[in-house]
Chain A
Amino acid sequence: MSRKKVLLVWLTLSLLLSLVAAGPVAGQEDEIVIGVYEPMTGPQAAGGELTMQGVYLAHEVRPEVLGRPIRLVLVDNRSDKAESATAVQRLIEQEGAVAIIGSYGSSNSMAGGEVAERAGVPVMGCSPTNPLVTEGKDYYFRACFIDPFQGRVMAKYAVEELGVEKVAIIQDVAQDYSVGLAAFFREAFIELTGDAKGIVAFTAYQTGDQDFTAQLASVMAKNPDAIYAPGYFGDGALLARQAREMGYQGYILGADAWEAPELIEIGGSAAEGILITSHYHPEAELSPASQPFVELFMEKYGERPSAFAALGYDAYMLVVDAIERAGTDDPKAIRDAMAETKDYEAVTGTITLDKNGDAVKDAVILKVEDGEFKYVGTVKP
């Protein structure tokens, strides 16, 4: 045989082999597949990893439902909208997921949600907080509160507890999460103070930007008492650092997506004093389920759980609970059971899903102190 023929035969064989390997024989017949799409690489990778800590722990605690083993399949959405849509498609078509968990990042979730909706597979969002993730969607639910509430919580805290009168808002225009939250905060702030002039600056950056000195110089010329920048943790760390380097001395306020170890590692001393809204803190005592969870978590990972780990844990448990109540692995039946979730005792609070599929829950305020997120208080809806 000539070299070319050998090569051809070899290629054909390896192609056939790969087809066999990718076929449905990979798993057991009776298993139930729960898909997860999360950012494991890219600028939101930390959020994905924190969430997965909780999901893996939950899977260890409840590896079976309806007497059948659960197979967890994770697909990386690379912090990217287009990749998120592909990830959900892969979970449904290739992996045969009957329910899906995801994703950190509202934009990722909105892109993935379109695909799940068309395929008729239910998704339980762990931490996407933008209202549009579930709005008009029959198959998208979430274990967390939404941004109109989160924005209001921080506005209220800034006005009533910190005495902020002049605030500057810096949003990330490429993230639905950030744009939504900035608008909700602004609305609530004006409503609370009755003074539209209290928003002294409203400016923006885009995911991937690292230099905020131009925005900060313009903002600081207006002497705000506080800067509210509801973006992601990496941007937050650099923004805080550059603000402090340029001599800014007011408050720096963020939201739940700033809760990652990176905010403190990268922000260094500039991160000290940062205030954020979040979903959970081990000391907040939001639910009786919290304490046992914290113990299990500490045992497995040797550190305290973050809000995202807690939400990942809750999202998995909510999915399993819905499958159990549905009594079948039919996605439509699971969806219907999920929609009826009521008074579920989750780690992050008691969850009853409203007509949009959103959880209505308490928010917590956290403050960075001595290189840690410290619990400040709880705000009820």
Chain B
Amino acid sequence: MTVSLFFQHLANGISLGALYALIAIGYTMVYGILRLINFAHGDIVMVAAYVAFYGAAMYALPWWLAFPLAILLTAGLGMIIERAAYRPLRGVPRIQLFTSAVAVSFLLENLGIVVFSGRPKAFPRPAFLDKPLHVGDVIIISYTPVAVAVALILFGGLLYIVHRTKVGMAMRALSKDIETTGLMGVDTDRVIMIAFAIGSALAAAGGILLAIKFPQINPLMGVVPGLKAFIAAVLGGIGNITGAMIGGFLLGIAEIMIVAFFPQLAGYRDAFAYTILIALLLFRPTGLMGEVEPEKA
């Protein structure tokens, strides 16, 4: 393999990794606060792509209006889901909450098939993203720097909210103990709702980038990226935002490199990505950046 081909693969890996990272940080944040594996996260990604599609393709909104609108509406959807499917289950064993998340996931997928139809739709990509960039022999599709920039900016923003604001402080307190935090005078329901709004907005940003990268949207498009993002989050140490970011990029690069170095395994790259994951978890059960925490009584 030549050097430029290697860098070509690396660029492709980063391109894919930015996507996983963006979806993973929202996933991991919700987990960090509620200890809830929000199974519907990938489907929220899908809904955002459709909202952006209808805004841009049906109502002919310019992308700079359609995309933020889609993010806003999806954040609203996240709040509705939290209010309707998760809040009533507060205080019951976590397994019920998880089951409810699975149900929301199936509901969104099947609703998507009914409302949007099962056939894929072509997503209108903003024209300025069509031109590839040439760096030496390496061709970088112009989506890549945009995706990396968006992922980094939103990552920075999320870290700021969680560590530098009052709401963020409440979120961190909640993650330790919901009841006690409530006793301290924090409106826990409101904070959790905000967390869901932020998580869903991040999923929405991921969904739009996903639709730009692979301009084919369908009601089941969120399933695999949702799983991959979950794996990226686990890889980085679930609940840890920085870990999810690193995990996302690592997973994206690893997937591409497996195909690059073992072309005969190209059809089974997911199997190999997951094998690596299992191996890593055997040696580091808490993921790359996760901390060991004592089980709550």
Query: Measured between C-beta atoms, what is the minimum distance from A256 to chain B in Å?
Result: 18
Tell me whether A318 is interfacial, beta carbon within 8 Å: no
The answer to whether B267 touches A174 (Cβ under 8 A) is yes
CA distance A171 to B264 in the complex (A): 11
Known pairs A204-B266, A206-B267; A42 contacts B216 (CB<8 A): no
Interface residues of B in 231-266 (CB under 8 A from A): 255-260, 263-264, 266
CA distance A203 to B139 in the complex (A): 21
Which one of A10-18, A62-70, A211-219, A287-295 is at the B interface?
A211-219
Tell me whether B111 is interfacial, beta carbon within 8 Å: no
Question: B208-222 toward A: CB 8 Å interface, digit per residue (1/0)?
Answer: 000001111011100
Query: Measured between C-beta atoms, what is the minimum distance from B105 to chain A in Å?
Result: 16
The answer to whether B139 touches A246 (Cβ under 8 A) is yes
Query: Measured between C-beta atoms, what is the minimum distance from A272 to chain B in Å?
Result: 14
Query: Measured between C-beta atoms, what is the minimum distance from A37 to chain B in Å?
Result: 15
Residues of A within 8 Å of B264, CB to CB, are 203
Interface residues of A in 1-53 (CB under 8 A from B): 40-43, 45-46, 49
The answer to whether A211 touches B132 (Cβ under 8 A) is no
Tell me whether A135 is interfacial, beta carbon within 8 Å: no
The answer to whether A234 touches B120 (Cβ under 8 A) is yes
Tell me whether B80 is interfacial, beta carbon within 8 Å: no
Residue of A whose beta carbon sits closest to that of B214: A210
CA distance A237 to B2 in the complex (A): 28
The answer to whether B132 touches A246 (Cβ under 8 A) is yes
Q: How many residues of B contact A (CB 8 A)?
A: 40
Tell me whether A374 is interfacial, beta carbon within 8 Å: no
Residues of B within 8 Å of A211, CB to CB, are 12, 16, 213-214, 255-256
The answer to whether A206 touches B268 (Cβ under 8 A) is yes
Question: A186-210 toward B: CB 8 Å interface, digit per residue (1/0)?
Answer: 0000000000000001011110111
CA distance A234 to B13 in the complex (A): 22
Tell me whether A238 is interfacial, beta carbon within 8 Å: yes
CA distance A173 to B15 in the complex (A): 24
Tell me whether B122 is interfacial, beta carbon within 8 Å: yes
Interface residues of A in 228-285 (CB under 8 A from B): 234, 237-238, 241-242, 245-247, 262, 265-266, 268
CA distance A70 to B120 in the complex (A): 32
Question: B102-124 toward A: CB 8 Å interface, digit per residue (1/0)?
Answer: 00000000000100011111100
Tell me whether A172 is interfacial, beta carbon within 8 Å: yes
CA distance A210 to B121 in the complex (A): 14
The answer to whether B132 touches A247 (Cβ under 8 A) is yes
Residues of A within 8 Å of B269, CB to CB, are 206, 209, 214
Instruction: Give chain B's interface residues, CB within 8 Å of chain A.
Output: 2, 5, 8-9, 12-13, 15-16, 113, 117-122, 130, 132, 139, 141, 213-216, 218-220, 224, 255-260, 263-264, 266-270
Instruction: Give chain A's interface residues, CB within 8 Å of chain B.
Output: 40-43, 45-46, 49, 171-174, 201, 203-206, 208-211, 213-215, 217-218, 221, 234, 237-238, 241-242, 245-247, 262, 265-266, 268
